[in-house]
Amino acid sequence: EHYTIDVTELFHSKVIDYFVDDYKNGRTPNPCVVCNRKVKFKTLFDKAQELSAGFVATGHYAQIQKKNADYVLMKGKESKKDQSYFLAQLKQDWLKTVLFPVGMYTKKEVTKIAQQSQLPFYQKEESQEVCFIGGNDYRTFLLDKLPGLGKPGSIIDMHERIIGKHKGIFYYTIGQRKGIQVNSNIPLFVTAINTEENTITVGKEIHAYKNECNVEKLNWFVDPGKIPQNVFAKIRSQHNPVEANIEIHDARVIAQFFEPQMAITPGQLAVFYNDNIVLGSGWICER
């Protein structure tokens, strides 16, 4: 039997409101991560419990394996399609009843299986858009929700001197180069966003690099006491994991990178790996 579940109100309160609030506060959100934890998987597990179903299965490119007495989240077989980053806020105790059947295959292999099985979606193009924003025009969407976000303000340099005007803080994210309306002989990059002062700070490319980041609201799949100090950290979905030392301080982690990283952005998720195993994750924050 096929069931449909209306999650309109839940999605609005947990994902859309969060998305708008993060931009309002100068952060760059990741709605897919939040949706997986607070809407998609929560709803599936609630329904599974209602039906006394033993497992929940989705089409994510990731894997789950049992290590000793625990279950761990792992990268999918094909690194280019791996979706473990977007699943890194799932609850650890969910893993024992989650199935990711396509995670052991490449996308090409899955497409071939779908084609051989005459499933109609095998030719469907992938979408990188935010699912609840038509045409991916998030600026129009945000202006409709929060007209005040379009308030112009000052662009300042690294010495806090006013060098230009911006048309609204939500047009910018850390590390951005395009759209900075300042006359300059060198490329300028956004290095900070101050919502209280309604200012954008810009500097040279080197100023957009940092050696460390702070991470909060931690979610561990492995006992933090058993996590090695040297890990690989992924600081956004399209970022290649890089080596870092992590210091765990109760509810916060300080990740110190072996090499400076570009555009470490508050609001994005940092995911920590040991080889292919997802150790845990948390949200990048200000100091």
- CB-neighbour burial class of residue 267 (10 A; exposed 0-12, middle 13-18, buried 19+): buried
Cβ contact 83:60 at 8 Å: yes
Tell me the C-alpha distance between 270 and 36, whole Å. 16
Distance CA 162, CA 94 (A): 50
- 3-state SS assignment for residue 43: helix
Collapsing DSSP states into helix, strand and coil, what is residue 153? strand
Q: What is the CA radius of gyration of the chain?
A: 21
Is residue 213 annotated as part of the catalytic site, yes or no? Answer: no
Asked if residues 99 and 57 have their Cβ atoms less than 8 Å apart, the reply is yes
205: left (phi over 0), alpha (psi -120 to 50) or beta: alpha
Handedness of CA 137, 143, 146, 149 (dihedral sign): positive
Inter-residue contact 245 to 260 (CB < 8 Å): no
Q: Annotated catalytic sites, by residue?
A: 35, 131
